[in-house]
Amino acid sequence: MAAIAPAEKIVDKINRREQAGEVPYFSFEYFPPRTEQGVNNLYARIERMAQQEPLFVDFTWGAGGSTCDLTIDLSASTKEKTGLDVNMHMTCTNQESSKVDEGLKAAQEKNIRNICALRGDPPKGQDKWEAVEGGFECALDLVKYIRKETGDHFGISVSGYPEGHPDVIKPVADLGRELSESELKRVVKDENGEFVCSDDDFAKELAYLKEKIDAGGEVIITQLFYDSQVFIQFVKDCRAAGINAPVLPGLMPIQAYAGFKKMCGFCKTRVPEDVAKKMEEIKEDEAAVKAYGIELATQMAKDILASDVGVNGLHFYCLNLEKSALAVLDNLGLKKDVVEDAAAEKENTLAGTHIN
């Protein structure tokens, strides 16, 4: 077997691409499937998507390390089989430092050079996030711990929230005042009312993000969003706050109406009125929803890449699917021509007509 290519830090790869003018670039994110068949299907999909030469791929990490073994296996096998650099998630949820130690040791042994340090979501059935005894209070603690224990070995990415973290997006009525111009651009409207991260809370969010970067974070990957102008303003706000790390926009092409509504509700995501209206019009037509998801993600990517904030990377939340992300890349002129196998042809046929 050929030797596995040495792993690289994401920030170094970004800097090299930027300096050489080799832009734009993109990355794919996956989650550990629940079944053996799902794992096998994902491996096949990753091998096909690897032919697009993403800058890196990453894998999520379950609460309390519930999927840590599979996450590590997916990360190591993907590096070995495809040569792609991997960004392995780690979260604080229900997790003691010993579990992090195990994960970091495995990553070092298996040629995984990048860690995405996250607080994580509350465990299933629990509304409020709480640290466990002997665990970490927040992502900042995790960043500091990784740097303390492993020095500069790992490239560390952290999360960013263009609309504010869901925990600080609160009912507009609670503010007891008119919204500012900047708050109006972030306001979230849904069937339960209007919500917003106040300017004061947003400033605290930026200050905390800067702490994560100053502590050793090197790249920012954002929460999903559907308003490209909110992301562009977020990057401007980051720069004004002295945060100069690369910012990668998290794009999640809409796959289904129900999933879109659930994810936006969970993340308290702002949905522009024209997008909300369109989704209501086509919600009963599965193929139309997927086609619109590709169209919307394409336009968002174009807006971002054409903006004056200097963002040249795109991060796709693939939901372990390939058609929509690859269709967006094709629309942007970034998709490489590769030979599809029968499984990919079947999936793409079942998923709907390709959008050019």
Per-residue confidence of the chain (356 residues) as pLDDT tens digits? 456 678 999 999 999 999 999 999 999 999 999 999 999 999 999 999 999 999 999 999 865 445 678 999 999 999 999 999 999 999 876 667 788 898 999 999 999 999 999 986 555 554 553 544 555 878 999 999 999 999 999 999 999 999 999 999 999 999 999 999 999 999 999 999 999 999 999 999 999 999 999 999 999 999 999 999 999 999 999 999 999 999 999 999 999 999 999 999 999 999 999 999 999 999 999 999 999 999 999 999 999 999 999 999 999 999 999 999 999 999 999 999 986 654 554 444 333 322 22
- Structurally, the chain folds into a number of domains equal to 1
Cβ contact 157:116 at 8 Å: yes
Q: Per the domain annotation, does 356 fall within a domain?
A: no
Say whether 222 sits in a helix, a strand or coil: strand
Q: 77: domain CATH number?
A: 3.20.20.220
Residue 73 CA to residue 186 CA, distance in Å, equals 39
Residue 47 CA to residue 112 CA, distance in Å, equals 17
Q: Per the domain annotation, does 58 fall within a domain?
A: yes
pLDDT of residue 189: 95
Can you tell me which residue has the tokens 């379950």?
62
Q: Per the domain annotation, does 355 fall within a domain?
A: no
Domain of 130 in residue numbering reads as 10-348
Catalytic amino acids?
Answer: 29
- The DSSP call for residue 52 is G
Largest Cα separation within the chain, whole Å, is: 66
Q: Per the domain annotation, does 75 fall within a domain?
A: yes
Residue 244 CA to residue 263 CA, distance in Å, equals 29
Q: Going along 119-246, which residue ranges are E strands? A: 155-160, 170-171, 188-190, 193-196, 219-224
Residue 7, Cβ density class (10 Å: 0-12 exposed, 13-18 middle, ≥19 buried):
buried
Q: Per the domain annotation, does 4 fall within a domain?
A: no
Residue 29, Cβ density class (10 Å: 0-12 exposed, 13-18 middle, ≥19 buried):
buried
Q: Per the domain annotation, does 199 fall within a domain?
A: yes
* Nearest Cα to Cα of residue 319 among 345, 293, 340: 293
Residue 286 CA to residue 229 CA, distance in Å, equals 27
Say whether 80 sits in a helix, a strand or coil: helix
Buried b (16+ CB within 10 A) or exposed e, 183-194: beebebeeeeee
Q: Per the domain annotation, does 1 fall within a domain?
A: no
Residue 79 CA to residue 4 CA, distance in Å, equals 7
Can you tell me which residue has the tokens 């090299």?
16
Q: Please tell me whether the overall predicted TM-score, pTM, comes out greater than 0.75 for this model.
A: yes
